[in-house]
Every structure is written in C-alpha cells, then in structure tokens.
Amino acid sequence: MQLRFSGAIWFWRGPAPFHFVTVPPTESGMIGDVASVVTYGWGMIPVTVTIGSTTVTTSLWPKDGGYIVPIKKVLQDRESVTIDDVVDLTLDIDA
C-alpha cells in the first residue's frame, strides 16, 4: 500500500525529543484497515517514508485513534526541513 499526503512537522518533547507528521484521518483509516496484518506489536506499523529524494525506514506510532510518522534526523538534515514546515510524504506499507 502506498499513501501520499502533506503535513506540518511538529515537536514532541516526551522523555526524548521527536519530530512527527500526523497522518490525516482518511489515510489513518486506510492504515487501520490493514493494521492487524502488518503490525509487529503495540500498534506499531513498519513503513518506508520518503520526503523529497530521501527514503528511510521507520514505524508509524498509533496516537489518538490515528497514526503519526516519526521524522528521522536524516530526513530533516538531507531535506532541510524542520518544525512547522509542511512536507509531502510518501508512505509504503507492505500489506
């Protein structure tokens, strides 16, 4: 399954700082439809994320009935993106 959408990068302090983009409700619903087949536990969904010309592997995190995409430091650095930037993402999920 491949999904494309845009979203703003936001910051979560938590016990360790992370940057995320929230998956929109429609795409979150589509992911939810295959979640039981692709999760490796705790609702985490392995994905490949592409922003610009940079692709990394990570896992979607479940949050508030939807999903959030961690924006790894390598994506931030290679694509020169930071908090509040709106980015176009492509998610590839092996479903």
Cα torsion through 51, 55, 56, 62, rounded to 10: 40
- 95 in any annotated domain: no
The CATH code of the domain that includes 69 is 2.40.30.100
Give 14's DSSP letter: S
Structural domain harbouring 45:
2-90
- 57 in any annotated domain: yes
- 25 in any annotated domain: yes
Instruction: Count up the domains in the chain and report the number.
Output: 1
**pLDDT one-digit tens code per residue, 33-66:** 999 999 998 889 999 999 999 999 999 999 999 9
- 82 in any annotated domain: yes
Quote the pLDDT of residue 16: 65
How high does pLDDT run on average in the chain? 94
- 78 in any annotated domain: yes
Report residue 29 CA to chain centroid gap. 14
- 50 in any annotated domain: yes
Residue 47 identity (one-letter amino acid): V
Quote the pLDDT of residue 41: 84
